[in-house]
Amino acid sequence: MTERVIIGDVGEVRLRIDRNIGEVFYDKTRPVGSFLFDFEANPAREWNQIVMQIYEKGFKIRLSTKAVPKSLKPCIDFLRGKYENGEPSAMFAAIRLWENYIKCYNLNHGADIFNERSAMLCKPFHALGDCKLWELQAVKALQSALRTEESQVELWYPMSKRPYECVVGYSSFLPMIFYYLNKINEWGFIVQSCKVCDTRFLARSRHFELCGDKCRKVNEVEAKRQFEERNKDCKIEKTYENHYQYWYNRLRRLKKTNTTDDVMTEFTGAFDDFRKGAVKHKKAVKSGKMKMSEFNSWLFEQQNIVDDMVKRGGEKWVDKP
Ligand SMILES: [Zn+2]
């Protein structure tokens, strides 16, 4: 499922939706939930500082369309940065905030009206603190900040060529956010983090752990690699066990013979060295520092040591009566 966000003048947006024409600032289709996941978060309240600066300085200057007033330059730079950043909520707020300023500039008590409108617009950017928009805590924080004039949502229901519903926001994000969260709840979606790329996405159940085809592919390759790794580990252990058995069988036979203590001591010492060496080499092969063929050669060298001892043991290797 996808969501589509369009920012623009209401008439142009209608044209864009119905006839795919119309000049708009932003028109993108993204995975469902992206609007909430990427929503501007600004716990440091920079937006408020910008609003305050415009409120304090912007209404005392002569506004000209030709030159940017010096005192407002930092504010304009901030808003331009947010506009160019391309995150739709910040983009919308930047456009709306500046529009509000221009509209309020010549009004009676314009500064106060601008301040009030901007506070309403930017509220969800900082009201959440450090929590995320879709978390219960955030919803509670936003709900307690909600004013009556923000609690309505405009819906353009599906009609004629438009098979889908549109939620329209003008001066506050809150109705859209609550409407969206409510829909997610209704659809039975939950928020998941992709186990490959950590991107958040909406899923039908906890069972879905990957955000899309790209990550599914990455996950498959990784699973195959892990399988091969385990297989390799298995092969190393199996080879070692065979060689260990070779040593062990000879030790058992040795114990049954009239072997002198000297031979016995030499044998158990060599057996210990073999085991210690094998632990070290197995680790090296598993981490890729030693080739399997080198490990195999080492094992056969060790086998020569046993064979040599057996040979030197000579007639002592006779079964006990
Ligand atoms: Zn992913």
Centre of ligand 1 from the C-alpha of residue 137, in Å = 26
User: How many domains are there within the chain?
Assistant: 2
- Asked if residue 48 and residue 120 are part of one domain, the reply reads yes
Centre of ligand 1 from the C-alpha of residue 206, in Å = 15
- Asked if residue 296 and residue 154 are part of one domain, the reply reads no
- Asked if residue 83 and residue 202 are part of one domain, the reply reads yes
Centre of ligand 1 from the C-alpha of residue 196, in Å = 5
Centre of ligand 1 from the C-alpha of residue 207, in Å = 14
Query: Is pLDDT above 90 for 70?
Result: no
For residues 274-278, average pLDDT: 94
Query: Is pLDDT above 50 for 5?
Result: yes
Mean pLDDT of the chain: 88
Centre of ligand 1 from the C-alpha of residue 151, in Å = 35
Most confident residue range from 80-84, 181-185, 267-271: 80-84
Query: Is pLDDT above 80 for 320?
Result: no
Query: Is pLDDT above 60 for 157?
Result: yes
| Structural domain contains residue 321 | no
211, 242, 257 - which closes a domain: 211
- Asked if residue 139 and residue 13 are part of one domain, the reply reads yes
- Asked if residue 254 and residue 134 are part of one domain, the reply reads no
Centre of ligand 1 from the C-alpha of residue 219, in Å = 9
- Asked if residue 267 and residue 151 are part of one domain, the reply reads no
- Asked if residue 151 and residue 26 are part of one domain, the reply reads yes
Centre of ligand 1 from the C-alpha of residue 200, in Å = 8
Centre of ligand 1 from the C-alpha of residue 49, in Å = 36
Burial label for 18, CB within 10 Å (0-12, 13-18, 19+), is: middle
196, 211, 226 - which closes a domain: 211
Structure confidence at residue 317 as a pLDDT band (50, 70, 90): low
Centre of ligand 1 from the C-alpha of residue 226, in Å = 19
- Asked if residue 82 and residue 27 are part of one domain, the reply reads yes
Centre of ligand 1 from the C-alpha of residue 95, in Å = 32
Token pair, residue 22, equals 């119309």
Query: Is pLDDT above 80 for 145?
Result: no
- What is the C-alpha separation between 61 and 236, in angstroms, rounded? 79
Query: Is pLDDT above 80 for 136?
Result: no
- Asked if residue 175 and residue 259 are part of one domain, the reply reads no
Structure confidence at residue 314 as a pLDDT band (50, 70, 90): low
Token pair, residue 9, equals 């003048």
| Structural domain contains residue 257 | yes
Most confident residue range from 112-116, 228-232, 248-252: 112-116
Centre of ligand 1 from the C-alpha of residue 229, in Å = 23
- Asked if residue 169 and residue 31 are part of one domain, the reply reads yes
Centre of ligand 1 from the C-alpha of residue 174, in Å = 28
Centre of ligand 1 from the C-alpha of residue 212, in Å = 6
211, 234, 251 - which closes a domain: 211
309: containing domain: 216-316
pTM for the predicted model, two decimal places: 0.71
